Chains A and B, each alone.
Chain A
Amino acid sequence: MPALCRDCLHPFETGSRCPACRSPRVLSHPELFSLSIAHMDCDAFYASVEKREDPSLADKPVIIGGRHRGVVSTACYVARIRGVRSAMPMFQALKLCPDAVVLKPRMSLYAEVSKQIRTMMEELTPAVQPLSLDEAFLDLSGTQRLHGAPPAVMLARLVRRMKDELGLTGSIGLSHNKFLAKVASDLDKPRGFRVIGKAETPDFLRDQPVRLIWGIGPASQEALDRAGIRTFADLLRWDRTALHARFGSMGERLWHLARGEDHRRVSAHEPVKSISSETTFDADTADPDILDGHIWRMAEKTADRAKARGLAGRVVTLKVKKADHAIITRRLSLREPAQLADTIYRTARGLYEQVAGEGPFRLLGCGISQLVPETEVSAAGDLLDPGARQRGEAERAADRIRARFGPDAIVKGRALR
């Protein structure tokens, strides 16, 4: 059976230890060197980046998320041992792990590291489809001759390089389609490398629960439950038309997935539909000054991401969540697509006036949608708002300062509210 040493990347035929370096971290699978669709998922990405930045955190439980009221966005593996999970409310996480170091996410830092990882992945193949900052699909089909090594070796080299150069670990899933690659990467995290071959696919899936499928949330889960579908074996008993009749287009997809088939391609250019940021407050508030500060910070974050991707949005959205968790959103179409924090802030500010009376609020978010490339933003100034051009130039200048001296090198006064 083909085997590969994950430490020295030495390929060999048999044995549970690498014949070259005696490492026990050996990967062996009959289809190891013929599979080429992979999913790479960083291990506790935000927390790992923070630990790398501050080595004193290395053996401490670290949780990334809003301080008191928010949810856990990432927990390091030390915290996970104590039962902390992502998306868990922070108070619950702190009950489980009172000594945890809670850090606010530093998105721009993570984005920067993510870019470095992306660059490494793009050296392997142009078909890299990022799903978020810390995970991506890679299609390495046809790259063997280019690299002089099969995809499995290149992927093992990628995670080793991430560890050596960036101090971060990741888990790899390698299979024959995206669905299974994603499932595989999750199977032995952290520092995992799991292969699901074609031959074993039916056996592997049979007893797995259908919630394994990415995109099956609580609602779909319930619908499937009602139809008596819990595992892939249940799913296999349904014929194609019956699934389609009951679940529509999702039924069609389920039929294929039940057979381990997923024909979606790894596409590098999955269009982004919207960019947004939101924050949950430490305490509910109706204070216009505090909310104004939040609007600015969320506008600025949204703008940062839009600028990083070279996009602008024709529609600006403001979202607030009331104390009773009711969500209100307001949106406005602009004549010129917005990219500057200044524009997003001013528009969202106007939208806020429409909902101000509904406070107090517990959450506020800003976003842009109907995205267009930034080159479509008309550079024509506004006759009636001669300050707009200066504010725009000031913002670009501030961006350059932050790029050079760090994110806190220059901030707006209203960001401190």
Chain B
Amino acid sequence: MKLSIERGALLKAVAQAQSVVERRNTIPILANVLIEAEGDTVQFRATDLDIEVVDRAPAHVDRAGATTVAATTLHEIVRKLPDGALVTLTADSAAGRLAVDAGRSSFSLATLPKEDFPVMASSEYESNFTAPAPVLRRLFDKSKFAISTEETRYYLNGVYMHVAEGEDGRVLRCVATDGHRLARIDAPLPEGAETMPGVIVPRKTVGELRKLLDDDEAKIAVSVSETKVRFATPAITLTSKVIDGTFPDYTRVIPQGNTRRLEVDASEFAKAVDRVATVSSERSRAVKLQLDEDRLILSVNAPDSGAAEEELAVAYGDDRLEIGFNAKYLLEIASQVDRENAVFMFNSAGDPTLMREGDDQSAVYVVMPMRV
């Protein structure tokens, strides 16, 4: 195998591949990236056995072929090469080396046979559809903060992507929860997605997927089966196993009968929460919300370190209410709001509280209160 490629294109392709590779590997081949050159493209493939990413880049191929080298080493080399350099990759299968040459730099990397590289078995997808990148970006960006890291409830370690019945018909919905807060984000159902089985997309996949979604114009081809999910652009294909578990029935978690309505400027609110929380150093910092006629008092009382209080002008017209929340959860939820005011719907100090952006039902958050 021998090929030449521009440094920028190579860096982009290798960067995406190496980020899938786990830093600590017990199986040496999993630390490697599989490089395959044919026609006028070079393809980089990396996997951790749960996720596989394939990156394609145009290249001048002198001699078709394939080999594998350490992904992080190759990435580091390419990253340090000067911008605009032309990089030549030459595999010497007899010596088991890959030569990387650019200008006056030359590197020789150990390779492992391409036959040893595990390629994820292809499978039948029950549903194939296309979605604009910004739509998927919103679905995952607004839900991923609520993904759980708890090992015991592994089925919460991802975003549950499924078809659901929304306010105005069927929607493509992403839900994530860790038991303390929940995010439910809806998007119009893309054509062809109706038959999609609900899948739990693992946390790491959500992170990798994000890199495909930066381009506002991009259309993402999505394929879903019971066990796998695939996201593809012309240059990158990301295939991932989904979490083998049942996502809990979240619908009964979302409060329906909360009537006390608070409307507040989300960024003012977030800043105030952040300020008062400063006095407490505990891991689970509790912020108390005291609600009265068009007035909100946020306060933190940490017996060991101090106390803080801040008053905000808000829209609130119901009975007096005192309720406490984990400051971090409040901040994370408030920071999801970007267009309108945050609307909180409370019931009592012991019941889950609902938050949404204005009256937009397509993004709904639930947070559990704390005793304060």
Contacts A375-B282, A385-B179 given; indicate if A380 touches B369 (C-beta within 8 A): yes
**Of A350, A375, A384, which one neighbours B248 at CB under 8 angstroms?**
A384
A379 CA to B282 CA in the complex, in Å? 13
- Closest residue of A by beta carbon distance from B286: A379
Among the interface residues B156, B248, B368, which one has the most CB atoms of the partner chain A within 10 A? Answer: B368
A123 interfacial contact with B, CB 8 Å? no
* Contact between B284 and A378, CB atoms less than 8 A apart: yes
* Contact between B371 and A382, CB atoms less than 8 A apart: no
Chain B contact surface mostly: loop
**Of A333, A347, A380, A384, which one neighbours B370 at CB under 8 angstroms?**
A380
* Contact between A383 and B284, CB atoms less than 8 A apart: no
- Closest residue of B by beta carbon distance from A347: B152
Instruction: Give the residues from 356 to 372 in chain B that come closer than 8 angstroms, CB to CB, to chain A.
Output: 366, 368-372
* Contact between A376 and B282, CB atoms less than 8 A apart: yes
Chain B residues whose C-beta falls within 8 Å of the C-beta of A350 in the assembled complex: 152
Instruction: Give the residues from 154 to 177 in chain A that come closer than 8 angstroms, CB to CB, to chain B.
Output: none
A120 interfacial contact with B, CB 8 Å? no
Q: How many chain B residues have a CB neighbour from A under 8 Å? A: 31
A381 interfacial contact with B, CB 8 Å? yes
Instruction: Give the residues from 311 to 356 in chain A that come closer than 8 angstroms, CB to CB, to chain B.
Output: 332-335, 347, 350
Chain A residues whose C-beta falls within 8 Å of the C-beta of B148 in the assembled complex: 335
Among the interface residues A347, A377, A381, which one has the most CB atoms of the partner chain B within 10 A? Answer: A381
Among the interface residues A375, A378, A382, which one has the most CB atoms of the partner chain B within 10 A? Answer: A378
Could you tell me the distance in whole angstroms from the C-beta of A377 to the nearest C-beta in chain B? 8
- Closest residue of A by beta carbon distance from B352: A383
* Contact between B253 and A384, CB atoms less than 8 A apart: yes
Instruction: Give the residues from 189 to 240 in chain A that come closer than 8 angstroms, CB to CB, to chain B.
Output: none
Interface band, chain A = 10 to 19
- Closest residue of A by beta carbon distance from B371: A379
Instruction: Give the residues from 360 to 401 in chain A that come closer than 8 angstroms, CB to CB, to chain B.
Output: 375-385, 389
Chain A residues whose C-beta falls within 8 Å of the C-beta of B326 in the assembled complex: 378, 380
Chain A residues whose C-beta falls within 8 Å of the C-beta of B371 in the assembled complex: 379
Instruction: Give the residues from 296 to 312 in chain B that come closer than 8 angstroms, CB to CB, to chain A.
Output: none
A137 CA to B253 CA in the complex, in Å? 53
A382 CA to B369 CA in the complex, in Å? 10
* Contact between A378 and B179, CB atoms less than 8 A apart: no
Could you tell me the distance in whole angstroms from the C-beta of B63 to the nearest C-beta in chain A? 52
**Of A333, A379, A384, which one neighbours B179 at CB under 8 angstroms?**
A384
Contacts A376-B283, A378-B284, A384-B248 given; indicate if A332 touches B369 (C-beta within 8 A): no
B244 interfacial contact with A, CB 8 Å? no
Interface residues of A (CB under 8 A from B): 332-335, 347, 350, 375-385, 389
Which 7 A-B pairs rank lowest in CB-CB distance, beginning with the nearest? A378-B284, A379-B371, A379-B370, A380-B370, A382-B179, A380-B368, A383-B253
Interface residues of B (CB under 8 A from A): 148-153, 156, 177-182, 248, 253, 282-284, 286, 324-326, 329, 350, 352, 366, 368-372
13 chain-A/chain-B pairs, Cβ below 8 angstroms: A334-B152, A335-B149, A375-B282, A378-B283, A379-B370, A380-B326, A381-B352, A381-B369, A382-B179, A382-B368, A383-B368, A384-B179, A385-B179
With contacts A376-B282, A376-B283, A383-B253 known, what are 20 further pairs, Cβ within 8 A?
A333-B151, A334-B152, A347-B152, A375-B282, A377-B284, A378-B180, A378-B326, A378-B370, A379-B324, A380-B180, A380-B284, A380-B326, A380-B329, A380-B370, A381-B368, A383-B177, A383-B181, A384-B177, A384-B248, A385-B179
